[in-house]
Structure 1
């Protein structure tokens, strides 16, 4: 079931934080009205609606600097007809700066949004960050809204990369047309979600039914069905050759490898061992570390777009 979009983006549909103006994207999952603070590329660069051929959704990292990753994406695109959207996933440290806003503004606990986790309970039941991506993808992949649309790309770096990788496995990613199925780009995540029922979520699939009790795409589908769907999706993994940091140092993260680079190699080897389809690709960006801007400046990233 598609989320119900309640309002279009407009100059009146805004909040204030850190002295900056943010757009709000309103949607209604499970018949409950919530708002998620979204910083939108359309405020920086909005092609004429009938000229948009690509929608690029970019997810920030742990620092939640949506404006920064939005600018980095914009700087590395020469095509004027790419619409770019950057959601901002607020957490508890943002609460004081959004005082006085509507009670249904979505805020997460710490970094929970990066694993698809539920928001804090606001004016209704919690909403997962996966549902936020569902709503954004549903709205911006509608060919009746963008008549020349050919491609929808969801990209994330660092913690945003973890979000996109997990969403590529568990998310609905509803498509309005066969050719508009989202393309996923995972850049420099600290860890990966393995398709194994003997490893607890967020590193494996064990316990996902409890973690996503109200999100059927993750909770109600068997591991076999998830794996089949995941195999059919287009997922590109990009990693900086110099990204040797650890990020997550918990035991289950370290079990994936000593650092982000080694973990990416192990994930690649894991998929190859399963005879994974060519719709999943791997590329290593030379002379680049944990830097979203340089990753998006690479020929590997640009070739995807």
Structure 2
């Protein structure tokens, strides 16, 4: 019989032999902590400013962005580019867009970008940084892909082209699934014309969708215009706020007052005498791109008064009496006569206000599509 002392010696000897033989289980490896996603930059301040180089002369334009455009980020799955209105207040629109991303719980997987199309041209008196592009403020302006006042070799659409190319770089954003280009008011004018004219849409390898909200005018694809009857009758258009449904009772024909508005079909209100970026494409190409690219048009229910920089020029009035009526008639004509698939959506209880529009639950689903 083995005594206690002998038993302990035997156990110790067995342990030593096992250790020497490599039979002792190795400790489980310690896993490194999971890499945390970068935190978004959310203030419209210098901390969120980035510069986008344009052309070969050292020219540049600025954007506000929640994440760097050049640092690899595998967490980003969606991009939202939000174009400002006529005041060129990219800081305000960056705050609107990041607020919308917060409500949509999309801050962590969405890069939000607000381009600043600033100008010291004509009546615009923005303070520009060294080498910053001064975009055209009048005529064929930044709203419609016009040439830069400081460099005629550049257009405002080239600026967004370059942003899209940066986003589509898989070395930087390997998991990006969709890019949304959105704008309100004058920004809506920009997006509607950029949608039809840009030449990068099919080249990126990443889907791009467009969201056009409450512009004052459109580039009509032919010389036809809405007839001032039914939902386009001025009195009916002004009372359009009474319904939350998209109006559809529109008729179309030659513009009867062309003698009083002889430039009604000139760019950027129509396709005639185009200049800037869009001048490099044929009418047929523009029509095909306008009809074929995915777009949602947002119309505020009560945007039926001439407020907020409303375009009351003869060329704009040829398209309808109110922003809402102009948009409803335009989308119906595009879909019925050119085979388009554009969507129209009324934003209930909103007027001409970007924050009301882009923070509405139904609109959050549009500007932050599932990925």
Using the TM superposition, give the Cα deviation of residue 282 of structure 1 relative to its aligned residue in structure 2, in angstroms: 0.8
RMSD of aligned residue pairs (Cα, Å): 2.5
**Counterpart for residue 111 of structure 2:** 83
Give a deviation string over 1:273-298, Cα, whole Å, max 9, x none. Answer: 315333x1110111011111111112
Matches within 5 A, 1:29-178: 29=55, 31-42=56-67, 49-77=73-101, 78-79=105-106, 80-92=108-120, 95=125, 97-98=127-128, 101-102=129-130, 104-111=131-138, 112-121=141-150, 124-178=151-205
**Counterpart for residue 13 of structure 1:** none
After TM superposition, the structure 1 stretch with the greater mean CA deviation from structure 2, 260-269 or 154-163, is: 260-269
Instruction: Find the aligned partners of 2:71 and 2:324 in 1 and give their Cα distance.
Output: 37
**Counterpart for residue 242 of structure 2:** none
Pick one of 270, 273, 276 that aligns with 1:207.
273
Match of 2:321, SS? coil
- Residues 21 and 120 of structure 1: is their aligned pair in 2 closer, same or farther, counting only changes over 3 Å? farther
Instruction: Find the aligned partners of 2:362 and 2:174 in 1 and give their Cα distance.
Output: 28
After TM superposition, the structure 1 stretch with the greater mean CA deviation from structure 2, 53-62 or 218-227, is: 218-227
Instruction: Find the aligned partners of 1:238 and 1:298 in 2 and give their Cα distance.
Output: 11
Using the TM superposition, give the Cα deviation of residue 183 of structure 1 relative to its aligned residue in structure 2, in angstroms: 0.6
Using the TM superposition, give the Cα deviation of residue 223 of structure 1 relative to its aligned residue in structure 2, in angstroms: 1.2
Is the counterpart of residue 233 in structure 1 residue 290 in structure 2?
no
Is the counterpart of residue 182 in structure 1 residue 208 in structure 2?
yes
Instruction: Find the aligned partners of 2:337 and 2:202 in 1 and give their Cα distance.
Output: 26
Instruction: Find the aligned partners of 1:47 and 1:127 in 2 and give their Cα distance.
Output: 26
Number of matched residues?
Answer: 272
**Counterpart for residue 262 of structure 1:** 325
CA contact (8 A) 2:301 2:348 kept: yes
- Residues 283 and 36 of structure 1: is their aligned pair in 2 closer, same or farther, counting only changes over 3 Å? same
Is the counterpart of residue 286 in structure 1 residue 311 in structure 2?
no
Where do 5+ consecutive residues of structure 1 fail to align? 1-16
**Counterpart for residue 303 of structure 1:** 365
Using the TM superposition, give the Cα deviation of residue 94 of structure 1 relative to its aligned residue in structure 2, in angstroms: 6.4
- Residues 133 and 96 of structure 1: is their aligned pair in 2 closer, same or farther, counting only changes over 3 Å? closer
Instruction: Find the aligned partners of 2:124 and 2:66 in 1 and give their Cα distance.
Output: 21
Match of 1:85, SS? strand
CA contact (8 A) 2:305 2:322 kept: yes
CA contact (8 A) 1:22 1:37 kept: no
Instruction: Find the aligned partners of 1:105 and 1:301 in 2 and give their Cα distance.
Output: 33
Give a deviation string over 1:8-46, Cα, whole Å, max 9, x none. Answer: xxxxxxxxx9x96673423233x4331112222337xx9
- Residues 150 and 255 of structure 1: is their aligned pair in 2 closer, same or farther, counting only changes over 3 Å? same
TM-score, structure 2 as length reference: 0.67
CA contact (8 A) 2:118 2:126 kept: no
Instruction: Find the aligned partners of 1:175 and 1:32 in 2 and give their Cα distance.
Output: 27
CA contact (8 A) 1:189 1:260 kept: yes
* Bigger radius of gyration: 2
Match of 1:42, SS? coil
**Counterpart for residue 254 of structure 2:** none
Which is strand-richer, 1 or 2?
Answer: 1
Give a deviation string over 1:104-126, Cα, whole Å, max 9, x none. Answer: 311124252112212212xx544
TM-score, structure 1 as length reference: 0.81
Using the TM superposition, give the Cα deviation of residue 181 of structure 1 relative to its aligned residue in structure 2, in angstroms: 2.7
CA contact (8 A) 1:173 1:182 kept: no
Instruction: Find the aligned partners of 1:73 and 1:28 in 2 and give their Cα distance.
Output: 24
Match of 1:283, SS? strand
Is the counterpart of residue 192 in structure 1 residue 254 in structure 2?
no
